[in-house]
Amino acid sequence: MNTCQWCGEIIFDSYWSLDGSGVFCGQKCIQEYKEKTGYGRDEILERIQAEAAEVRDHLRRCEEERKAKSARDFGYNPRVDTYIGKNSDGRRFKFVVEADDYYNYVTSTSEIQKQRNLNWECENQTTEPGIRKNPEPNPHTWREISFVWLVDKPKAPEKIFDEAMAFLNAKQANKAVPMLEDLANKGYVKAQAQLGHCFCYSIGKIPLDFAKGVEWYRKAAEKGNDSAQYELGLCYNYGKGVPQDYAKAAEWYRKAAAQGHEFASDDLRALKETGKI
């Protein structure tokens, strides 16, 4: 049941509408409305739309006042919670939920656990902007904003190498060697040279293995590591892990000396003075 915007009569069955924006009981009322007010069809629509906007604005203000009253009377505190956790399979994730009115975070996190098939432990929680005052739960007053699985940023080779060296200094070769071998197999030259030192000098109480040490020295030396070049020269000079060969020893000494290795030149000169090359 509608009321004519012009004459105020109740309309039961048929009525005229201006694009659904204004309601009149007939063309007569529309014409009179136009004549008396000076509005044409477009002006009528604009006026009706402006009135509708005023109504919407009034309703919005009423809703804001309702929320403000709720905040004063019940401790309403809108908030955003961020959780970082780890699932039972070790995968880390972060999710953010927006809380409203009488929010209970246990409800929301348990719902997310069900939806995402999680069995998790919370590592960190941050809340903005306030703290909930009223503990009454309402599962309809929160929503999930985002959920992402976190991928741990891989450590830089230099950092892994430093950690491995710390284990070596603590004589924990069982931890250091796998880390060094992983780096060396990926082409990290410092790790290749260090493995050569470990096996040729029993660093960190690693059993001596000259053959394996020479293998790692050679890989690092071929990539230009001066320390590995010098050590490989020593191995050829004294026949450790390889057949004794003064010519090859001199060859690796020269390469190390060309890069400024402090002992390579002396050892090369010693080979010449003793007539070995």
Tens-place pLDDT, residues 55-77: 888 888 877 777 666 555 545 45
**pLDDT band with cut points at 50, 70 and 90 for residue 104:** very low
pLDDT for 112-135, tens place per residue? 677 777 787 888 877 665 444 444
CA dihedral 114, 116, 118, 123 (to 10 degrees): -110
Give the pLDDT of residue 114: 74
Residue 161 shares a structural domain with residue 265: yes
Q: Which residues span the domain enclosing 207? A: 157-273
Q: For residues 215 and 192, what is the distance between their CA atoms, to the nearest angstrom? A: 9
Rg (CA), the chain: 41
More confident residue, 246 or 61: 246
**Same domain, yes or no: 182 and 265:** yes
pLDDT 10s digits, 8-55: 666 655 555 554 446 666 666 766 766 666 555 666 667 777 887 888
β-pair partners for 122:
85
Among left, alpha and beta (phi > 0; psi -120 to 50; other), residue 187 is: left
**Domain-ending residue, one of 59, 74, 89:** 74
Whether 198 and 167 map to the same domain: the answer is: yes
Do 136 and 228 share a domain, yes or no?
no
- Which has the closest alpha carbon to 166: 184, 149, 153, 179? 179
Among 74, 99, 129, identify where a domain stops: 74
Rounded CA separation 54/163 (Å): 68
Number of structural domains the chain divides into: 3
Band of pLDDT at residue 106, cut at 50, 70 and 90: very low
Residue whose pair of structure tokens reads 């790692």 in the numeric block: 216
CB-CB contact of 259 with 224 (8 Å): yes
Q: Which residue among 42, 74, 106 closes a domain?
A: 74
Residues 132 and 192 in one domain: no
161 and 269, same domain (yes or no): yes
Residues 127, 81 contacting (CB under 8 angstroms): yes
Reported as a single tens digit per residue, the pLDDT across 249-267 is 999 999 999 999 989 999 9
Least confident of 90-104, 198-212, 216-230: 90-104
Strand order in the sheet with 120-128: 120-128, 79-87, 92-99, 142-150
d(CA 277, CA 272): 6
Query: Residue 177 — very low, low, confident or very high, per pLDDT cuts 50/70/90?
Result: very high
Q: Name the average pLDDT for the chain.
A: 78
